[in-house]
Structure 1
């Protein structure tokens, strides 16, 4: 699983990364986490409000920091 945190490195971006890491740990999932700070690359995902969360090249969150509980639902294997 490849997870990308989209944003300029702001407080919300760091909070999203922290929540995502916690949700992945709770689920027992292994993932590669990347920070994407390039605005052109962020816009390429169609994200206009950061932070954004991309999982395996699919945008799952944009413009907010979901709770760990919400992220565990989003990241759980289907």
Structure 2
């Protein structure tokens, strides 16, 4: 999972980065965390209010420190991969009988 924290280096941006690091470590989720401070790059995501958070290429938050619940939700998405969902549902098709 790739997470980018967008911001020019303010305290809220640093806090957001730290909260995500701590939550990922607590949940045992491997994340590739990147801090983006370049203003044109930030604006390229359409984020006009920082900190912004981008998860796997999608802007999921902008403006203010995200809540712990929001961060946990983003990380939960990393723990629910298509392969894991298929395995918990009994594989790619019901009863292991593929109709193809």
Q: Would you say how many aligned residue pairs link Structure 1 and Structure 2?
A: 78
Where does structure 1 lack aligned partners over 5 or more consecutive residues?
none
1:53 — aligned with what? 53
- TM-score scaled by length of structure 1: 0.90
Larger helix fraction of residues = 2
- Which structure shows the bigger proportion of residues in strand conformation? 1
Shifted more, 21-30 versus 2-11: the winner is 21-30
Relative contact order, CA 8 A, sep 6+: which one is greater?
1
The Cα RMSD (Å) is 1.2
Summarize deviations over 1:23-65 as a string: whole Å, max 9, x none.
Answer: 2122211111111011110001010000001111111110021
Q: Please say which structure displays the higher CA radius of gyration.
A: 2
How high is the TM-score relative to the length of structure 2?
A: 0.72
Structure 1 residue ranges, 4+ long, deviating more than 2 angstroms after superposition: 67-70
